[in-house]
Chain A
Amino acid sequence: MSKFIKIDGVEVPFEEGQTIMDAALAADIYIPHLCHRPGLSPHGSCKLCTVDVNGRAVSSCTMPASEGMEIENDTPALKKVRKTITQMLFVEGNHLCPSCEKTGDCTLQAVAYHLDMLDGHFPQFYPRREVDASHSSLVIDRDRCIMCELCVRASREIDGKDVFAISGRGTGRHLIVNSPTGKLGDSDIELDDLAAHICPVGAILIKDHGYEVPIGRRTFDLHSVAETDLEEVILKKSAHHDEGEERDPNEGGVYGV
């Protein structure tokens, strides 16, 4: 017999060992999140997936589901909390969406749209952060890093490497590279690694592949971040999912004729 939790009054089945997030995603219920990705160990750092369980605040990506939980998720109050947390992430870094290569493909930006975030609200921190362009095909622009550690976990758990780590504390927290020089170019990361593609913002970018999919046709230009089956789509960065479909080689077009 299945066990159930209640999310916004709706009964949602879960299996032993599932988190609230797991159960919600399986039931097609979107709980906003940035540091969570199915298949990687949960982290619970961004706090965007905060929900109220029987009146107590918990992170849905790390909290195991258990019978009798009454969970508030999609409420005006929580939307406001999540908007504020997203604004915090925006002012902490240097996020210049209009000129960012990741625009339209950026989960932070998409979440902000989803939460109706129209401004940063808080004063900008304008941190000075280092860029690492030492790698032949990847670049780290730490200005946009949101410390979600998806790359850290992807490298360790999926790629079987240990390329990234987070160093420092407080607002001094920053992404570092596990190589003798601390430079990405001297690490063993490869272009095929999940860690090279998993960044939800524009902090880890693929070189020489800018603007291949024009703005207006990118992931979140066509989809809402709240579509719970998007994970597959989001990870296929180098080729836009709409391009995956077979094309007729003789298909005409402006340049094709």
Chain B
Amino acid sequence: MTMNTQPPEHLLHVMHAHQEEHRFISDQAVNSIAEKLKLPRAQVEAVREFYAFFHSKPRGTYDLLFSNCTSCGSPSLMRQLCELLHVTADKTRSDGAVSIGETSCIGMCDHGASLLVNGRPLHSLDGSRIEAIAKLIEAATPVEQWPAEWFEINNHIHRSDLLLKESFTPGAALHAVEAGGADAALEKIRFSDLRGRGGAGFSTAQKWQFCREAAGDTRYVICNADEGEPGTFKDRVLLTSYADAVFEGMALCGRIIGARQGYIYLRAEYRYLLDRLENRLAERREAGLLGEKILGIEGFDFDIEIVVGAGAYICGEESALIESLEEKPGNPRIRPPFPVTHGYMGKPTVVNNVETLAAAAAIVLHGERWFRGAGTWQSRGTKILSVSGDCARPGIYEYPFGVSINDILKDCGAVQVQAVQVGGPSGRLVDPSHFDHHIAFEDLATGGSLMIFHHSRNLLEVIRNFTCFFTHESCGFCTPCRVGTALLKNGMDKVASGHGTAHDLDELKATAALVSRRSHCGLGMTAPNPIRDGLKYFPELFEARLLHQEMEPEFNLDASLEEARQLTHRDDAEAHL
């Protein structure tokens, strides 16, 4: 027997493997996993309870999770499948065969209504496909034998510019770094004015510089592939077809800051990409582009490991991501200190978006002028947008920064547009009077999501959907976000159900402002955006649903008697208040 020198497996991976086999993670399993990995039991339990894809009660052999995103979700198709299979949502059928539930956006917004079946994305759903799925489940056909084309995922790139036009030769950027030296590579990135593509737009060169100068002997590079913002799928496309550029971006960052280890934190919804990415990494090791002595250069050591998440939008926040990487629940950390000085394992760490790393590699390869030539003076280069919703051609569009909403709408074939959500629910809800505004850090900043809503859409319902999303995804660490998002959801429910009053709108406004300003991290700070923009630009949508009276109590006495009416089989006038 050989000595096992491998580090213990990542908690998230061990828990995933266990759940694959047993359909859930029991309390007993929590104990045995904790023992096996030598972790406190409470840590394993807390991880199980934190991530949406871990379950403490058995799921069905067929575990279906419908996306509830406004672009790739369909509540009516979920109801249809529930009826066909005689399943109540969120309750595993008594024979243990099937469970159906909802999940946040799975990044299939260019593929129509979608779901995850046992973790695999299945898209282009319609009534007849739902019927076919029901039949396959009732016939106990293994998912592996379902029609392969259901699982085929195309890229849908409709417009390419700097980054997507070029085919990337593996190793090209690394050769370019070594030709000019690491310092020169950092200068190139500095002069390119590359800003982080995750949405916040921090200067990439500055981040790398801070990390490089931070005290410590070990450093890390993390690629944030936890693309959870509803309506965003550009990283999915980059990781599918441009993975080498991303890997090289990580390696050259490692070279510049002096890191030997990189991690890709991949969202669980993209687990289906894992084998392909691992193979690609293996090929790169084989080719001397990863591992020890990269390009044969003494001292250029860098390797990449992939850690797969388990369903938590908050892990897109860099410090929550680091917590998750450290096998803990994804709670955002106190800042300062920032990850550049105290990141993964307390060491200086660069966390960058997938697109940022790909852009960095391209800049080192093609030069800063090539990059600076595109965009605006405050937002250089291009931005890859995930366009979805009510348009003829949803998909990926790469534009130079500065493109207007109107231009994008024209290109993707959107007509009679009521509103556009730029940057996902955490971004801005834009009304037609602002469609001449531009995608740029100084105007409409975006991580990459652009969702289009046609005139026929119930926009109030869209805002309610976004509010529910944040309530579901709040980690609950701080009071304003934990309680505030729940209050906002309840308020939106009240207004949407036709029970709201002008007083409730005032309450929504006040609570939204407090949650925005007093929350601990970006999730809470942006969670009220849909409501705030909605009230500002579409007040008539809210007012149309209001009761015109001073106050309507939250507690509806008559509605609360519904259960009693059902039990007594009475629904006559006397049974109502």
Binding site for B on A (CB under 8 A): 42-48, 50, 57, 59, 62-64, 81, 84-85, 88-89, 91-92, 122-123, 125, 146-147, 162, 164-173, 176-180, 182
Set B27, B42, B474, B478: member contacting A45, Cβ < 8 A:
B478
**Which of A88, A122, A167 makes the CB contact (< 8 A) with B480?**
A88
Is the beta-carbon distance between A47 and B50 smaller than 8 angstroms? no
Give bound CA distance, A166 to B43, whole Å.
9
Beyond the given A64-B336, A167-B49, A176-B42, please list 7 additional residue pairs across the A-B interface where CB-CB is below 8 A: A85-B514, A123-B554, A162-B42, A169-B50, A170-B482, A179-B41, A182-B41
Question: Smallest CB–CB gap between B563 and chain A, Å?
Answer: 15
CA–CA, A172 to B46, complex, Å? 11
Question: Which of B45, B336, B473, B487 is A88 in contact with, Cβ under 8 Å?
Answer: B487
Q: Which residues of A contact B418 (CB under 8 A)?
A: none
23 contacts between A and B (CB under 8 A): A43-B334, A44-B478, A45-B477, A45-B520, A64-B336, A84-B510, A85-B480, A92-B482, A92-B483, A122-B487, A146-B479, A147-B477, A162-B40, A167-B42, A169-B476, A170-B471, A170-B473, A170-B482, A171-B471, A171-B476, A171-B482, A180-B41, A182-B27
Cβ contact within 8 Å between A85 and B482: no
Docked complex Cα distance between A180 and B34 (Å): 10
* Cβ–Cβ contact A85 & B518, under 8 A: yes
List residues of chain A with CB within 8 A of the CB of B43: 165
Kindly state the separation between the CA atoms of A127 and B329 in the bound complex, as whole angstroms: 22
Q: Choose among A47, A85, A170 the residue that contacts B476 (Cβ–Cβ < 8 A).
A: A170
Bound complex: CA of A169 vs CA of B474, how far in Å? 7
Q: Which of B465-487 contact A (CB under 8 A)?
A: 471-480, 482-487
Q: Report the bound CA distance from A165 to B50 in whole Å.
A: 12
Known contacts A84-B514, A170-B471, A172-B476; decide if A89 and B50 are in contact (CB<8 Å).
no
Decide if the interface of chain B is mainly helix, strand, loop or mixed.
helix
Chain B residue, CB-CB nearest to A57: B517
Please name all residues of chain A whose beta carbon is closer than 8 Å to the beta carbon of B554 when the two chains form the complex. Answer: 123
Are A169 and B49 within 8 A (Cβ)? Answer: yes
Q: Is A177 touching B42 in the complex (CB atoms < 8 A)?
A: yes
Do B479 and A88 touch across chains, with their CB atoms under 8 A apart?
yes
B479 contacts which of A62, A85, A122, A182 (Cβ < 8 Å)? A85
Query: CA A172 – CA B475 in complex, angstroms?
Result: 9
| Residue B31 CB within 8 A of the other chain | yes
CB pair B42–A88 under 8 Å, yes or no, is no
Counting CB contacts under 8 A, is B174 at the interface?
A: no
A88-B483 in contact given A165-B43, A172-B476 (Cβ < 8 Å): yes
Interchain CB contact under 8 A, B46 and A176:
yes
**Are the C-beta atoms of B31 and A180 separated by less than 8 Å?**
yes
Bound-state Cα–Cα, A224 to B419, Å = 52
Count: A-B pairs, CB below 8 Å: 115
Assess whether B312 is interfacial by the CB under 8 Å rule: yes
Residues of B near A89 (CB, < 8 A) are 479, 483
Q: Which residues of B contact A84 (CB under 8 A)?
A: 510-511, 514
- The interface residues of chain B lying within 8 Å CB-to-CB of A164 are 42
If A50-B518, A178-B42 touch, whether A170 touches B479 (CB-CB below 8 Å) is no
A47 to B271, CA, bound (A): 36
**Chain A residues with CB under 8 A of B45:** 165, 167, 176, 182
Output the least CB separation between B5 and chain A (Å).
28
A170→B475 contact, CB < 8 A: yes
Q: Is the CB of A170 within 8 A of B474?
A: yes
Chain A residues, CB < 8 A from B27? 182
Q: A44-B334, A84-B514, A170-B472 are in contact. Are A147 and B482 (CB under 8 A)?
A: yes
- Judge whether B479 and A47 touch: CB under 8 Å: yes
Are A47 and B520 within 8 A (Cβ)? yes
Closest 6 CB pairs of A and B: A178-B42, A165-B42, A88-B483, A123-B554, A173-B476, A167-B46
Q: Are A173 and B482 CB-contacts (below 8 A) given A147-B476, A167-B49? A: yes
In angstroms, Cα B8 to Cα A69, docked, is: 46
B42 CB contacts on chain A under 8 angstroms: 162, 164-165, 167, 176-178
Return the CB mask of B305-348 against A: 1 if under 8 Å, else 0. 00000001010000000000000010000101000000000000
Say yes or no: B485 contacts A170, CB within 8 Å. yes
Residue of B nearest to A91 (CB): B483
Nearest neighbor of A163 in chain B, beta-carbon distance? B42
Q: Which of B334, B483, B485, B554 has the most CB of A within 10 A?
A: B483
Task: With A85-B518, A165-B43 as known contacts, state yes or no: A47 contacts B486, CB within 8 Å.
Answer: no
Q: Is the CB of A46 within 8 A of B40?
A: no
